[in-house]
């Protein structure tokens, strides 16, 4: 099983990337769970301009393939202007519906204070519904207080990240590639 962890930030790797690395390490089990971190600050995904994926750069195709080939995905996003950043939206715009359809997806958001804990969660759930993704029922929300010297230090945060990861692994194991429910409307018109 492969879990892709997307760090949806345009800034150089920092605290959110550190949380992704923690999650990858907590879940990696040789022969059972393979993890891959896709950091959008360094991935080189082109601006979505309507071209077919085959006409996009190798970096864009590689990033899309990492998500499409995964059994489950974590989208980790900072709160940016009460939503998720444009680099993450751009990646989602590049993905074909099949890349996330019936795929377990978890949400990790990070903001400056607890007051914004549903901003990213609510907006991403709407976009993920368009794909027909199977979104974990609860998400993880991090703040600067969960870190010490840039490193994830909160026991609550590590426990929550591990629980989210284990939920996605369990969902992916139980699905084994089966589609759920009717096709999303997006799949019918693509």
Tens of pLDDT, residue by residue over 79-137, are: 988 899 999 999 999 999 999 999 999 999 999 888 888 889 999 999 999 999 999 99
Give yes or no for residue 148 having a pLDDT over 90.
yes
- Domains in the chain, please, with CATH? 2-188 (3.40.50.360)
pLDDT grade for 78, boundaries at 50, 70 and 90: very high
Name beta bridge partners: 73.
Answer: 4, 105
Listing DSSP states for the chain in one string gives -EEEEEE--SSPS-HHHHHHHHHHHHH-BTTTBEEEEEETTTS-PPPP-S--GGGS-HHHHHHHHHHHT-SEEEEEEE-BTTB--HHHHHHHHHS-GGGTTT-EEEEEEE-SSGGGTTHHHHHHHHHHHHHT-EE-SS-EEE-GGGEETTEE--HHHHHHHHHHHHHHHHHHHHHTT---SSPPHHHH--
Give me the pLDDT at residue 158, please.
97
Kindly state the average pLDDT of the residues 46-68. 96
**pTM given for the model:** 0.95
């Amino acid at each position: 099983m492969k879990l892709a962890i997307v760090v949806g930030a345009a800034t150089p790797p920092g605290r959110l990337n550190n949380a992704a690395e923690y999650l990858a390490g907590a879940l990696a089990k040789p022969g059972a769970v393979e993890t891959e971190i896709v950091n959008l600050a360094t991935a080189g995904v082109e601006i979505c301009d309507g071209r077919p994926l085959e006409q996009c750069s190798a970096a864009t195709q590689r990033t899309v393939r990492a998500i499409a080939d995964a059994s489950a995905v974590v989208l980790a996003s900072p709160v940016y202007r009460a939503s998720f950043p444009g680099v993450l939206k751009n990646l989602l715009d590049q993905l074909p519906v099949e890349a996330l359809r019936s795929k377990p997806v978890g949400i990790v958001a990070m903001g400056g204070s607890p007051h914004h804990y549903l901003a990213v969660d609510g907006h991403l759930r709407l976009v993920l519904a368009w794909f027909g993704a199977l979104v974990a029922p609860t998400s993880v929300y991090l703040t600067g207080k969960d870190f010490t010297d840039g490193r994830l230090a909160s026991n609550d945060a590590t426990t929550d990240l591990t629980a989210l990861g284990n939920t996605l692994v369990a969902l992916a194991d139980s699905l084994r590639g089966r589609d759920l429910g009717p096709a999303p409307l997006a799949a019918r018109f693509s």
